[in-house]
């Protein structure tokens, strides 16, 4: 990133905010624009669990594990204690062989995890009425109110001289001599050298005249919130039929199936009430939980799990995609830096910063970038598995991106 380069980030969710801060840290003049209120859409409808425990393979685990460290660094830098907690997770979603396998994988990966028996769980969570016989404690994990973290990051961007504007839809990208030179918005044109699209679920559409469509597999998830209670649970609790945690203000946040689709035939309110009663049954000596908010969030997902869309446009220099297809809260601070550095590493940066953040120092797997090209936009699809496996899977999952290579 050239110092003083004008960077426009489109989208102010946790991903856009993180990219903006990372670009600013590298010396860019940053503007963040969002078509709606600041803080994002998916980011406002998220469970916000920050974890590396569920990664499909070792390399994706490494990525997420590194992301946890970056989140901790962000927390230290911005004092995020009003927006997140590092309360750890108690997990007993599965039983029997699946439970044992999960613990084995975590142990093999060297992830801080401990197998707890009934009596230990009882002590850690005294309000649990349905105490499981065993659970896995992953004490280094946390949870964030992702929208409010995004807003805290945007505040830092503003403090450092950046510009942040909500309610400014970006409609197009201006170009001159094959390079980005501006973004067009509903309130006028803004000159820039770089545009980063961090538009969440809008990733699936042809964006801003950059002729790109992606076969997304977005799905809907329910998130509900209750009125505040005193703190009665200490961890993120991942149980077989509900996952829930308490916010700092004491309100409960809960969802039903962690990654799965909600049943479209059940009304959101009915489902939320059912989820609330499951929580109520699991806890003792707590007042009746009152539902205050029900949200249906869209998970921005690629058909191919673990796939991130991160990288430069081939057709238009200076245009970048930063779409994280899964667990965007966990990955945001790291991905923001990788995107910013990806630009840096393309040759116009301070060597010191490149050394400090170079992906191949931290995450060798990220060198296994696979480039896939649509007619005008090339995206680097990062999949941290051996390249042949990744390519074969991607050819199956993303046929029309590959069609144009």
Ligand X SMILES: Cc1cc2nc3c(=O)[nH]c(=O)nc-3n(C[C@H](O)[C@H](O)[C@H](O)COP(=O)(O)OP(=O)(O)OC[C@H]3O[C@@H](n4cnc5c(N)ncnc54)[C@H](O)[C@@H]3O)c2cc1C
Q: Which residues of this chain interact with ligand X, rule CB under 6 A?
A: 10-16, 33-36, 40-43, 45-49, 146, 169-170, 198-202, 221, 223, 255, 297-300, 324, 327-330
- Residue (of 40, 41, 43, 18) closest to 30 by Cα position: 18
Q: Minimal distance in Å, beta carbon 315 to ligand X?
A: 18
Q: Minimal distance in Å, beta carbon 71 to ligand X?
A: 10
Residue owning tokens 């939320």: 272
Q: Minimal distance in Å, beta carbon 348 to ligand X?
A: 26
Contact call for residues 151 and 39 (beta carbons, < 8 A) = yes
> Residue 328 or 359: which CB sits closer to ligand X?
328
> Residue 55 or 329: which CB sits closer to ligand X?
329
Contact call for residues 253 and 47 (beta carbons, < 8 A) = yes
Query: Residues 6 or more apart from 105 whose CB is under 8 A from it?
Result: none
> Residue 311 or 353: which CB sits closer to ligand X?
311
Contact call for residues 37 and 11 (beta carbons, < 8 A) = no
> For 171, phi and psi rounded to 5 degrees?
-110, -20
Q: Minimal distance in Å, beta carbon 33 to ligand X?
A: 5
> Residue 36 or 228: which CB sits closer to ligand X?
36
> Residue 300 or 372: which CB sits closer to ligand X?
300
Q: Minimal distance in Å, beta carbon 256 to ligand X?
A: 9
Q: Where are the beta strands (DSSP E) in 72-178?
A: 84-85, 89-91, 114-117, 134-138, 142-144, 163-165, 170-176
**Helices H / strands E in the chain, number of each:** 11, 22
> Residue 213 or 350: which CB sits closer to ligand X?
213
Q: Minimal distance in Å, beta carbon 3 to ligand X?
A: 26
> Residue 55 or 198: which CB sits closer to ligand X?
198
Contact call for residues 165 and 32 (beta carbons, < 8 A) = yes
58-78 and 146-159 helices cross at what angle (nearest 10)?
Answer: 60
> For 81, phi and psi rounded to 5 degrees?
-60, -20
Q: Minimal distance in Å, beta carbon 363 to ligand X?
A: 17
> Residue 252 or 353: which CB sits closer to ligand X?
252
Q: Minimal distance in Å, beta carbon 345 to ligand X?
A: 22
Count Cβ atoms within 10 A of the Cβ of residue 139 and give its class: 0-12 exposed, 13-18 middle, 19 or more buried. middle
Q: Where are the beta strands (DSSP E) in 60-132?
A: 84-85, 89-91, 114-117
């Amino acid at each position: 990133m050239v110092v003083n380069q004008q960077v426009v980030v489109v989208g102010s969710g946790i991903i856009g905010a993180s990219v903006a801060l990372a670009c600013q840290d590298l010396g860019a003049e940053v503007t963040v624009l969002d078509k709606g209120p600041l803080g994002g859409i998916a980011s406002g409808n998220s469970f916000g669990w920050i974890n590396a425990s569920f990664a499909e393979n070792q390399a994706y685990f490494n990525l997420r594990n590194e992301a946890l460290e970056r989140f901790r660094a962000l927390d230290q830098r911005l004092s995020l204690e009003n927006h997140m907690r590092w309360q750890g997770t108690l997990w007993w979603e599965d039983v029997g062989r699946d439970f044992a396998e999960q613990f084995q994988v975590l142990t093999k990966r060297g992830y801080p995890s401990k197998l707890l028996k009934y009596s230990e769980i009882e002590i850690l969570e005294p309000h649990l009425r349905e105490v499981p016989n065993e659970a896995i404690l992953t004490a280094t994990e946390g949870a964030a109110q992702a929208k409010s973290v995004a807003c805290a990051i945007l505040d830092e961007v503003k403090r450092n001289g950046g510009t942040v504007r909500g309610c400014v839809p970006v409609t197009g990208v201006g170009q001159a001599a094959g390079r980005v030179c501006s973004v067009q918005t509903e309130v006028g044109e803004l000159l820039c050298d770089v545009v980063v699209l961090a538009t969440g679920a809008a990733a699936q559409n042809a964006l801003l005249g950059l002729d790109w469509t992606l076969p997304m597999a977005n799905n809907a998830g329910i998130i509900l919130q209750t009125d505040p209670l005193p703190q009665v649970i200490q961890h993120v609790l991942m149980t077989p039929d509900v996952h829930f945690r308490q916010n700092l203000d004491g309100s409960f946040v809960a969802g039903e199936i962690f990654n799965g689709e909600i049943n479209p035939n059940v009304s959101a309110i009915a489902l939320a009430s059912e989820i609330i009663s499951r929580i109520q049954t699991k806890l003792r000596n707590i007042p009746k939980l009152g539902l205050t908010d029900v949200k249906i969030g869209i998970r921005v997902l690629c058909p191919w799990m673990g796939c991130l869309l991160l990288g430069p446009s081939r057709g238009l220099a200076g245009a970048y995609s930063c779409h994280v297809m899964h667990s965007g809260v966990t990955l945001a601070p790291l991905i923001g830096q990788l995107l910013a550095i990806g630009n840096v590493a393309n040759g116009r940066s301070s060597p010191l910063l490149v050394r400090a953040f170079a992906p191949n120092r931290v995450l060798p797997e990220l060198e296994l970038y696979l480039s896939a090209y649509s007619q005008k936009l090339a995206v680097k699809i990062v999949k941290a598995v051996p390249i042949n496996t990744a390519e074969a899977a991607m050819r199956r999952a993303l046929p029309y991106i590959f069609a144009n290579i």
